[in-house]
Amino acid sequence: MSRRARVDINRFFDEFFAGILDGRIESKITRKDIRELLTSVRRVFLTQPMFLRLDTPVVVCGDLHGQFNDVVRIFDAEGFPHMRNYLFLGDYIDRGQQSVELILFMFACKVRYPKNFFMLRGNHETSSINKAYGFHHSVMTKYKSEALYENFQRVFDCMPLSALISDRILCMHGGLSPGLLEAKSLDILDKISRPLPDNRISADGNQLATDLLWADPDINVRLFSSSNRRGIGRMFGQEVIDRVRQRFGIDLIVRAHQVVLDGHEFFNDDASSGLVTLFTAPHYCGQYDNSGAIMRVAKDMGVSFKVFKPQLQNNNSSRRSKRTE
């Protein structure tokens, strides 16, 4: 990357927050600024593994979906990235009102703090989804550039898909895949090649990547079912969770991908199941009265959850759980 193309990250943060205060991010952050940031963050992602191995302590966060103010709430409560280690499980964009703002902020944090700020890819970081659910529209409304939208996709195509915390906590956005039951080690997760555009995710022979992004647990499934209501990815059951944990010495599997009422929910409402769903965007889409949650993993591997209650209530909201995301 040329010196001229390298983003001035301190200036970027200054202009970014000026744009937030102005109420129009595009008034301060130009297309050129974004292109430079995207070039820089793509390079950072490619210098790090597809399968991250992280140490404790770390704060783990689930879906955010353009709810920028809730990210600020998390950092206010837990410390900004220069103070804490963070792992995010994907779905930064779509549906929320500040998708562009949130993803730019996250990418700037990744460039500024590459060794303690980690971002996995979610299913909404794929063009077939974010073109339909709001991100494409947001980019075009603010910057009127199809090329800039495509630049975002080239970064998403290089993001990691899974992480392992201190060899004991396995994390991904979606869920488990049959290949894990036959693998000799979790190194199989690092062998997924990049870049990984949509057409490669859905291609035959790439089921592992598909399931890491899309799979869901289901109490009515023992092993795997290919009939996922999403139309992509598998459903998996308790026996799969047990076998993966036993095979690789895993204490807990952490995934996101579904709205849960209290922000975190153990599979089958049983902490001994070994799997928890984490969703971090409270009052999701302004329509749900769900809480959001983060998971703290302490230095000694102790796990605790912090719940963020909705700041706004809507009379039309309803208490719904496990919505497909």
CA distance 67 to 162: 23
Angle at 255 between CA 227 and CA 153, to 5 degrees: 85
CB-based contact 239:247 (threshold 8 Å): no
Bond prior to 197 in cis (omega within 30° of 0): no
Report the catalytic residues.
124
Backbone angles phi, psi at 264, to 5 degrees: -150, 140
235-253: burial string, b at 16+ Cβ within 10 Å, e else: bbbbebbeebbeebebebb
CA distance 156 to 50: 12
User: Please, which residues have CB within 8 angstroms of residue 208's CB and are 6 or more apart in sequence?
Assistant: 177, 179, 180, 188, 189, 192
CA distance 282 to 287: 10
The two structure tokens encoding residue 306: 């912090």
Angle at 252 between CA 90 and CA 321, to 5 degrees: 55
Closest CA to 322 of 269, 286, 253, 270: 269
Angle at 180 between CA 182 and CA 159, to 5 degrees: 145
